[in-house]
Amino acid sequence: MTHSEENYIKAIFHLANTGIEVISTNALAEKMETKPSSVTDMMRRLSKKGLVHYKKYQGVSLTTLGTKTALSIIRKHRLWEVFLVEKLGFTWDEVHEIAEQLEHIKSEKLIDKLDELLDFPKFDPHGDPIPGKNGEFMEHDNQLLSQLPIGSVALCVGVKDSSAVFLRFLDKNSIALGNKMKIIEKEEFDNSLRILLNERELQISQQIASNLYVKKIEL
């Protein structure tokens, strides 16, 4: 498979994970930042390889082989992110772009050794689950911070938005995975939150709260 083909397979998988069963050409074109005609050509190629179910004007979905391929690419990507953060000292806002290049390495033996070196991590630096060699992964039973009522206490376990600009904002405000948060107040006007973050009060917008995955702690 070419790098471009792998990127399409991964994009279809991520779109399907948002709840869309059959992905439209236009949705995929928007995700890949390309023309619908280019998507159509690629879908024909991937269909011939048995990776997608594609019908003109109806959309596309991954075959069993396509899903297996997507999970393999995602596994490599997220393992490389862990390696870059834990072993090379990169920050979590730097690793995505580098992992986008490293995920196309074909050697399964190398990836298995990488997994072993990292002690078989279950989650990447952004809190996303890492698929195992057979495609299985742990599901998060998490909520967004914005969904919790006043008085709730929760641990930050992941981010919905993993863009570099958002991660840099979190670093600037010392918000990280594993932080304990308590919602003190919610503004009626704009749904912004005042939270207690590791004994420090902080005001955050609804947009920020809607991009932080948390696990509620029952007191």
Strand order in the sheet with 212-217: 143-144, 212-217, 153-159, 180-186, 193-197, 200-204
- State the residue range of the domain holding 19: 3-62
Note the pLDDT of residue 18. 79
Residue 17 belongs to a domain: yes
Residue 112 belongs to a domain: no
Residue 158 belongs to a domain: yes
Last residue of a domain, one of 62, 79, 110: 62
Return the H-helix or E-strand segment holding 9. helix 3-16
Tell me the three state secondary structure of residue 135. coil
pTM: 0.86
Last residue of a domain, one of 40, 62, 84: 62
127 closest CA partner among 108, 107, 144, 152: 144
* CATH number of the domain to which 14 belongs: 1.10.10.10
The count of structural domains within the chain is 2
Note the pLDDT of residue 41. 94
Residue 213 belongs to a domain: yes
CA–CA dist 32, 27 (Å, integer)? 9
Residue 209 belongs to a domain: yes
CA dihedral 125→131→137→139, nearest 10 degrees, is: 40
Residue 177 belongs to a domain: yes
pLDDT tens per residue across all 219 residues of the chain? 899 999 999 999 999 987 777 899 999 999 999 999 999 999 999 999 999 999 888 899 999 999 999 999 999 999 999 999 999 999 999 999 999 999 999 999 999 999 999 999 999 999 999 999 988 887 777 899 999 999 999 999 999 998 999 999 999 999 999 999 999 999 999 999 999 998 899 999 999 999 999 999 886
Residue 127 belongs to a domain: no
Return the H-helix or E-strand segment holding 49. none
Note the pLDDT of residue 176. 93
* CATH number of the domain to which 197 belongs: 2.30.30.90
Last residue of a domain, one of 62, 91, 108: 62
Residue 210 belongs to a domain: yes
